Amino acid sequence: MREHPRAALDAESVREAYRRWAGVYDAVFGGVSALARKRAVAAVNRLPGSRVLEVGVGTGLALPLYAPDKRVAGIDLSREMLEVARKRVAAERLSRVLGLVEMDAESMAFEDASFDIAVAMFTASVVPDAHRLFAEMRRVVRPGGHLLFVNHFAAERGLRWWVERTMAPLSRVLGWHPDFMLRDLLPQDMQPVSIEPCFPAGLFTLVQVRNGA
C-alpha cells in the first residue's frame, strides 16, 4: 500500500500529457536523458537476436542508436510523439526501423514470442499499470530473450524521497509518476540480471531481466 497520495495516470491523461510534450520533449528532456538512453541501447546492441521492440518509443530519440543488424518496431500511445519519431526516421533514413505503431503497451497486438528483446526507456513510470506493461513485455519476448528498462526510480528515503513524494500528486500534469519504484514494475520474485545506476548522478537506472525460459 502506498502511504501518500498519487494522481494515477490513465491512457487518456497520458495522451493528453504527451500531446503537450511532443513539440518540446527533445529540447526539455533529450539532453538530461541522453547518456542513460545511449547506455540502454548499447546494452540492447550487445544482446543476441535482431528483433527489437521499443515500448513507448516517444519522439524516437533512441532510433538512430541501434546497431544496423537490429530490426526495430516502436509503439506508443501518443500520436503526436509518434509523428515526431516518423519524421526522424524519414529524415535520417533509418532503414532498421520496421514500423512505428500507435498501440497500448499494456495490451499489445503482437503474438507471443514475437521479439528477442523489448526495451522501455523512461516509459515504465508513465504507463498507467507498470505490472501489466511488464507482463505484456514478457509475453511478446521469446523465452530466453531480454527485457530492458531505463528509468527514474524513486528513492527509498532522504531528501530525494521527500521531493518525489511531494511531487506525486502532480503526475497527471507531468505525465509520469515521480514516486515510481522498482517494485511497482517487477514481480516480487523477479531477479534482474543487472541493475546499473546511470548518469546524471544515478538519477536513472538501467535494469535488465532475462525472460524465463
Ligand X SMILES: C[S@@+](CC[C@H](N)C(=O)[O-])C[C@H]1O[C@@H](n2cnc3c(N)ncnc32)[C@H](O)[C@@H]1O
Under the criterion CB under 6 A, does residue 58 sit at the interface with ligand X?
Answer: yes
Q: How far is the CB of 156 from ligand X (least distance, A)?
A: 23
The smaller minimum CB distance to ligand X, of residues 37 and 146, is found at 37
When asked if residue 145 is in the footprint of ligand X (CB under 6 A), the reply is: no
Nearer CB in complex with ligand X: 101/113:
101
Question: Contact with ligand X (CB under 6 A): which of 18, 66, 180, 204?
Answer: 18
Residue numbers 19-38 binding ligand X by CB under 6 A: 37
Is residue 168 within 8 A of residue 5, CB to CB? The reply is yes
Which position among 43, 78, 151, 179 is part of the footprint of ligand X (CB under 6 A)?
A: 78
Residue written as grid cell 500528486: 169
Rule CB under 6 A: is residue 184 a binding residue for ligand X? no
User: Binding marks (x or -) toward ligand X, 99..138, rule CB under 6 A?
Assistant: -----xxx--------------xxx--xx-----------
The stretch among 53-61, 90-98, 134-142, 156-164 that binds ligand X (CB under 6 A) is 53-61
For ligand X (CB under 6 A), the number of binding residues is: 21
Q: How far is the CB of 164 from ligand X (least distance, A)?
A: 16
Q: Write down the least CB distance from residue 105 to ligand X, Å.
A: 3
DSSP states along the chain: --SS------HHHHHHHHHHHTTTHIIIIIHHHHHHHHHHHHHHHHSS-SEEEEET-TT-TTGGGS-TT-EEEEEES-HHHHHHHHHHHHHTT-TTEEEEEE--TTS--SPTT-EEEEEEES-TTTSS-HHHHHHHHHHHEEEEEEEEEEEE---SSHHHHHHHHHHGGGHHHHTS-TT--GGGTS-TT---SEEEEETTTTSEEEEEEEPP-
Which residues are paired to 52 by β-bridges?
72, 117
Q: Between residues 109 and 143, which has the closer beta carbon with respect to ligand X?
A: 109
Residue of the chain from 43, 61, 97, 130 that contacts ligand X (CB under 6 A): 61
Asked if 76 is part of the footprint of ligand X (rule: CB under 6 A), the reply reads yes
The CA-atom distances, in angstroms, between 77 and each of 3, 11, 93, 105, 140 are 29, 8, 23, 8, 17
Residues forming the site for ligand X (CB under 6 A): 14, 18, 37, 56-58, 61-62, 75-78, 81, 104-106, 121-123, 126-127
